[in-house]
Structure 1
């Protein structure tokens, strides 16, 4: 058992923070040898092995760092990967969104391209019937130039606000591909084996507020109790309350309840073992007459399978 969790903020914490700044994200398995090396350098007469670093030590260590960096609008946050279920930690700027930070290393036209890709993820490929929230490289490359409608909106917005700025211009497809590759290398996007780009855990942590404000019409609302006739773009897991871009949905198209695949067991447990939607459970009485008939084996009245799929997989067939 290491004693690193009991120490006040010192050079070992600064060294680990520098490592995190360089990596942007880290998991516990990756953190153990790094912390062991840092601790050994601090006290060479008492070498620390990776096995000496416990989960509690690591989390206490992160807590000590967070206390010190809060004044700089920084925080180390964690989230579970929606596919691998692995928990990752990321250094997040709590005062500005990731797109603002990207503006320091990318041109305005490159940032405009990234925004168009995000619009495609969360609007074009995020419909009531197919919540893909991911985009193929071929689809993303077609967004290398802004549509005419976007340029007109920019002109109107600038005219109303009195601001003067150059409108977005097209970039080449090779530039667009380079930006996509950079987004993956820098940990903002993930590229699946099927060729889909989606937001990484780091991006979901950094962009949480921005995504809600941008794509949910009632900006800032993170509840699943919206009007059932409204298709909410950004939804949250009924169990862990994190954004869901890969997981399961309620069989009712109008219901906004979602859950991560790895959170279903916790959700059923919290409901006393009832494996049903927490927001729209099957009705009893007159309302049941208007419900689509579904068999208990996961198929509807016509015998079609309705078992939940990951959003990217279900959308792949549509493309």
Structure 2
């Protein structure tokens, strides 16, 4: 197997030093080192990531992509696939800080409203003693909790909360609450599955922030961005895939036939617009016809006859000019 090139190393270094990168930023780095746009060279992009992951397998690492469930943006990052005691030595967080994060994680994923977030007050009230495992499990075990756990103050919680948000383990949602960060979505895929977190019916990823079926007896949950994708087709059925109940529309979602359907004269993209402009040029429509409304449009035959008349007039003017120039030249010779 050929070794990784400097291009592969640059991509890895960017992810390791900057943390998880959004798809837009990661694509920009890839384009800078390869000279190719991932949007138009998708196969090259996929082959590059596959090559990197084959080499990272020996180190139990993986370059992985995930969806941030709060904003629907794809992020890339490097994760450790083995959660052993040796790997835990690499963390900068103390035992009480890790216990605090575990408590926050459980509070967020168990949030009853499917919003995937908790208030700052609820976050600071998370207890740490439930996250520490005492081997003998006796009733007196709580009295033998580490001093660092029992004395973890409110100010230390606030400081840890800020660090976890800065390091992308947690995040502030659009509503100002505390939610999971991109690192959590990247690293905790196995943890979500192992703890029976409900999965999205569409993408099969864990539902941290999702919508529930309106039928209370149905357990189907779907991410909001998966809902938009699933129901974006014109006249698509909005029936729940589990029980058949009609799924309510989301705020700001268009009704019926207007979902993502452009008008005839509306260009959905810059490329499509340019193609339409080229077609208009090929059909030789005059600029006034393009800008005029239906009642002001000039028929094609009329526009062509106007052009013919203009050409004839130009030819006559040219002939008259030539005759005048000849007569003037003859006078000068005389």
- When the two structures are superposed, what TM-score results if normalisation uses the length of structure 2? 0.62
1:53 is displaced (CA, Å) by 7.7
User: Max radius of gyration: which structure?
Assistant: 2
Write out aligned runs for 1:128-277 (5 A).
130-143=113-126, 145-146=127-128, 150=130, 154-155=133-134, 157-158=136-137, 166=146, 168-214=149-195, 216=196, 234-268=197-231, 273-277=236-240
1:69 is displaced (CA, Å) by 0.5
2:72 paired with 1:85:
yes
Write out aligned runs for 1:40-55 (5 A).
48=35, 54-55=41-42
Distance 1:297 1:77 in 2: 32
Go from structure 1 to structure 2 and tell me whether the alpha carbon gap of 1:154 and 1:65 turns closer, same or farther (over 3 Å shift).
Answer: closer
| Root-mean-square deviation over aligned CA pairs | 3.5
Q: Which moved more, 1:272-281 or 1:181-190?
A: 272-281
Q: Which moved more, 1:204-213 or 1:113-122?
A: 204-213
Distance 1:170 1:53 in 2: 56
Partner of 1:117: 104
Q: Which moved more, 1:180-189 or 1:53-62?
A: 53-62
Q: Does the 8 Å contact 1:8/1:64 carry over to 2? A: no
Partner of 1:9: 4
2:239 counterpart SS class: coil
- Unaligned residue ranges in structure 2 (runs of 5+): 252-334
Go from structure 1 to structure 2 and tell me whether the alpha carbon gap of 1:107 and 1:202 turns closer, same or farther (over 3 Å shift).
Answer: closer
1:77 counterpart SS class: strand
1:110 is displaced (CA, Å) by 1.1
Partner of 2:50: 63
The number of residues matched between the two structures is 244
- Unaligned residue ranges in structure 1 (runs of 5+): 1-6, 40-47, 217-233, 283-295, 299-306, 310-319
Distance 1:110 1:131 in 2: 26
Q: Does the 8 Å contact 1:236/1:244 carry over to 2? A: yes
Go from structure 1 to structure 2 and tell me whether the alpha carbon gap of 1:86 and 1:132 turns closer, same or farther (over 3 Å shift).
Answer: closer
- Greater share of helix: 2
1:52 is displaced (CA, Å) by 9.6
Go from structure 1 to structure 2 and tell me whether the alpha carbon gap of 1:27 and 1:59 turns closer, same or farther (over 3 Å shift).
Answer: farther
Q: Which has the higher contact order (CA 8 A, sep 6+)?
A: 1
Q: Does the 8 Å contact 1:188/1:203 carry over to 2? A: yes
Q: Does the 8 Å contact 1:76/1:90 carry over to 2? A: yes
Distance 2:203 2:150 in 1: 40
Go from structure 1 to structure 2 and tell me whether the alpha carbon gap of 1:53 and 1:174 turns closer, same or farther (over 3 Å shift).
Answer: farther
1:269 is displaced (CA, Å) by 8.2
Q: Does the 8 Å contact 1:33/1:49 carry over to 2? A: no
